[in-house]
Amino acid sequence: MQRKNVAKIPTLRVIGGIYKGRNLQMAPLEITRSSKAILKESLFNTLSADIVGANFVEFFAGSGSIGIEALSRGAKFALFFEQNKKSFAVLESNLVNICKNPSSYKLVFGDTFKEYFVALKTLETPSIAYIDPPFEMRENMQDIYVKCFKMIENLDSNIFNLVVLEHHSTLIIPDKIGSFAYIKTKKFGKSSLSYFG
């Protein structure tokens, strides 16, 4: 008897906190791509105790792996933005299956650049922003970072004490974006994380 080829749904794991070891379904690979495990580990090592009790906003969430990791490690609330229907469905499924408290997160479907301003009005301090524009947008849209910088400029520094931008390592990072001063960059091959506070 011949086995049928069944397409395996790609997954990744929560790497720390109360949900450690839980599998997350990934959004379809052609739509998005997950942040590397080493990059994610570095991010949360840097955030360390700052994540506990904070609000965490994952712009361009995809499967939500970064925001779910934040909840796992003690964030009190996470806000997710996603505009792709398939990715949004995966994100919603991951949250329902893993996060036991539905009041600890909110999902916003739509264009992040159009939706963020209103959605962020209810956030309190301290909040952390994680901005990782989708891979295909980064490859094909040179102005994506201009839009991201503009969005960072519009973030309220009284609410956000830290902004993290995941980007191509070749991107030139300014010393300041709006009220947020550049802190440092950590490089992971083609991708880097830059911190502003």
CA–CA dist 184, 42 (Å, integer): 13
The pTM assigned to this predicted structure is 0.90
Q: Is the pLDDT of residue 43 over 60?
A: yes
CB 196 within 8 A of CB 163: yes
Residue-averaged pLDDT of the chain: 89
Domains and CATH numbers, the chain: 31-196 (3.40.50.150)
**Nearest in space to 51 (alpha carbons), one of 132, 187, 162, 152:** 162
- Residues contacting 176, CB < 8 A, separation 6+: 182, 196
pLDDT band for 155, please (50, 70, 90 cuts). very high
| Secondary structure element (H or E) that encloses residue 194, with its range | strand 191-196
CA–CA dist 22, 18 (Å, integer): 9
pLDDT band for 44, please (50, 70, 90 cuts). very high
Q: Is the pLDDT of residue 5 over 90?
A: no
pLDDT of residue 135: 60
69 three-class SS: helix
pLDDT band for 6, please (50, 70, 90 cuts). very low
CB 88 within 8 A of CB 115: no
pLDDT of residue 33: 56
**Nearest in space to 18 (alpha carbons), one of 62, 61, 76:** 76
Q: What is the DSSP string of 79-126?
A: EEEE--HHHHHHHHHHHHHH-S-GGGEEEEES-HHHHHHHHGGG--SS
pLDDT band for 182, please (50, 70, 90 cuts). very high
Q: Is the pLDDT of residue 25 over 70?
A: yes
- Residues contacting 93, CB < 8 A, separation 6+: 25
Q: Letter for the amino acid at 186?
A: K
Give the tens place of pLDDT for each residue, 90-145. 999 999 999 989 999 999 999 999 999 999 998 999 999 999 987 655 555 668 89
